[in-house]
């Protein structure tokens, strides 16, 4: 009934959209053209040009960004950047006008796909490629695979803010004691065999899974498999998935089979245990393998006892026979907002260039737990000392990311929240319902994702 009511509501929106003159094919085909240039001309306005950066980072990450803004303000006399902590940025942006918009916004994960998908009169942001071309600015220093997320048709849309990877934390004390080399755990097949061995030899908690679809996304990326059309979302918002066909189906089924076997054989920890509690248990030496993000390394270090040793490794493949195609990029990014003021738009880019300098790339990485967005930022003496004394895994992550070919990355989706919800519901049913098979889960996942896609486009007035 709830699903039916949702469909009827969306249908009503679509009908009203159609009567209002909306385009049923694309929704934006008749939108007004964008401004021709965002490069300022003529004399600048009198006085300093005030700029505002909305970030929903907190703690040391926010402090570092604020310090960068203060340093930028001292380094030149034309612009004044103000950083403001702001929650729920996507909703505020989607309801904003040119007059009340900030100049820069922090975008987390798949929200970037939402901004990039908005074009013409609906556009909220300015692709930074125009500024890059105007300044002849060299973006090749950015960790190579980050370009996959933040470019479209070879053109940069925004600038990376943080750099992270989905993967696993491994307690090397426990693994070594049971004859398991962490570097052998390059696939979910290998992890399953390791967890079976650990359980048989008395390890109470072999594996904690952080429930999120990212683990499937990153595994499929490592397999070299596209799981959505439109070049996995890089050539337009995906209108279909491949979860019911070919290699994508085989790998998805194998991933669900891994989860099912882990649950049935008692290798998977209670899914009601929260991520924070699991991190504390891991830091206490009570979990052998724990899912997480590389940005979680610093918080994990802080709760880890001195006699507990761990490493982090980015996502494995699904199958042991597969050589990884590379690592998905992840993290956050910064967009320049479209405010119909080239001086403010170009000034925002000036701050981004300042923030991409090695000093700030390094400082932000150490403050936030992300790894640096540039390879030279990672080579500063400060960050090299950090790698040596605190986080040796960071160098492994950076090297794997920078070795990943352009184009290898997860699908960025404007409907990612609903997509993740579909995955979580199926995951929980697999773990709690013995008779619910991996095959049924794979079939339901395809069906549910298809519905998510259709509902997204219906909300835009488009019937697929």
Task: Indicate the pTM of the whole model.
Answer: 0.87
Classified as helix, coil or strand, 182 is: helix
Domain boundaries, the chain: 31-163+330-402, 171-326+415-459
Per-residue pLDDT at 21: 36
Is the fold of 31-163+330-402 the same as that of 171-326+415-459? yes
DSSP string, 99-136: TT--SEEEEETTHHHHHHH--GGG--EE-THHHHHHHT
Per-residue pLDDT at 234: 87
Classified as helix, coil or strand, 278 is: helix
User: What confidence tens digit (pLDDT) does each residue in 98-141 have?
Assistant: 999 999 999 987 889 889 988 888 899 999 999 999 999 999 99
Q: Which residues make beta-bridge pairs with 273? A: none
- CATH for the stretch 31-163+330-402: 3.40.190.10
CA distance 400 to 369: 17
Q: Which CATH superfamily is domain 171-326+415-459 in?
A: Periplasmic binding protein-like II (3.40.190.10)
The DSSP element (H or E) to which 46 belongs, if any, is none
Per-residue pLDDT at 1: 42
At 78, phi and psi to the nearest 5? Answer: -100, -35
CA distance 238 to 222: 20
> Across the 464 residues of the chain, what is the mean pLDDT of every consecutive 10-residue run?
43 38 34 65 93 95 97 97 96 93 92 89 94 96 91 93 94 98 97 98 97 96 96 92 98 98 97 95 98 92 95 96 92 95 97 97 94 94 94 92 90 93 97 97 98 96 94
């Amino acid at each position: 009934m709830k699903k039916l009511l949702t469909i009827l509501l969306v249908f009503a929106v679509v009908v009203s959209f159609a009567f209002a003159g909306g385009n049923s094919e694309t929704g934006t085909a008749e939108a007004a053209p964008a401004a021709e240039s965002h490069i300022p001309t003529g004399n600048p306005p009198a006085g300093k040009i005030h700029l505002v950066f909305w970030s929903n980072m907190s703690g040391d990450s926010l402090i570092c960004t604020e310090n960068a803004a203060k340093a930028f303000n001292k380094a030149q006399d034309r612009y004044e950047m103000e950083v403001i902590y702001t929650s729920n940025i996507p909703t505020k942006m989607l309801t904003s006008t040119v007059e009340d918009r900030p100049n820069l916004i922090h975008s987390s994960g798949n929200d970037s796909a939402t901004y990039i998908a908005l074009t013409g009169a609906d556009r909220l942001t300015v692709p930074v490629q125009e500024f890059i071309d105007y300044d002849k600015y060299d973006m090749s220093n950015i960790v190579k695979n980050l370009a996959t997320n933040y470019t479209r048709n070879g053109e940069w849309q925004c600038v990376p803010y943080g750099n992270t990877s989905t993967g696993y934390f491994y307690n090397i004390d426990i693994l070594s004691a049971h004859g398991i080399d962490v570097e052998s755990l390059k696939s979910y097949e290998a992890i399953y065999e390791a967890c079976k061995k650990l359980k048989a030899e008395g390890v109470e908690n072999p594996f904690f899974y952080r429930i999120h679809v990212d683990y499937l996304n990153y595994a499929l990326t490592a397999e070299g498999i596209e799981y959505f059309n439109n070049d996995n979302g890089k050539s337009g918002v995906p209108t279909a998935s491949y979860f019911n066909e070919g290699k994508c189906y085989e790998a998805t089924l194998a991933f669900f089979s891994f989860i099912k076997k882990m649950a049935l054989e008692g290798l998977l920890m209670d899914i009601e245990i929260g991520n924070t509690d699991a991190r504390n248990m891991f830091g206490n030496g009570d979990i052998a393998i724990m899912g997480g993000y590389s940005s979680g390394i610093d918080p994990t270090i802080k709760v880890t006892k001195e006699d507990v040793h761990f490493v982090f490794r980015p996502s494995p493949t699904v199958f042991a026979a597969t050589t990884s195609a590379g690592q998905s990029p992840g993290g956050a990014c910064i967009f320049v907002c479209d405010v119909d003021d080239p001086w403010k738009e170009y000034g925002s880019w000036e701050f981004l260039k300042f923030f991409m300098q090695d000093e700030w790339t390094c400082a932000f990485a150490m403050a936030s737990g992300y790894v640096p967005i540039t390879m030279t930022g990672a080579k500063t003496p400060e960050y090299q000392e950090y790698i040596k004394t605190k986080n040796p895994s960071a160098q492994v992550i950076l090297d794997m990311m920078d070795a990943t070919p352009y184009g290898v990355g997860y699908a960025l989706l404007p409907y990612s929240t609903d997509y993740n919800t579909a995955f979580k519901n199926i995951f929980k049913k697999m773990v709690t319902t013995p008779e619910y098979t991996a095959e049924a889960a794979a079939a339901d996942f395809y069906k549910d994702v298809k519905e998510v896609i259709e509902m997204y486009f219906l909300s835009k007035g488009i019937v697929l």
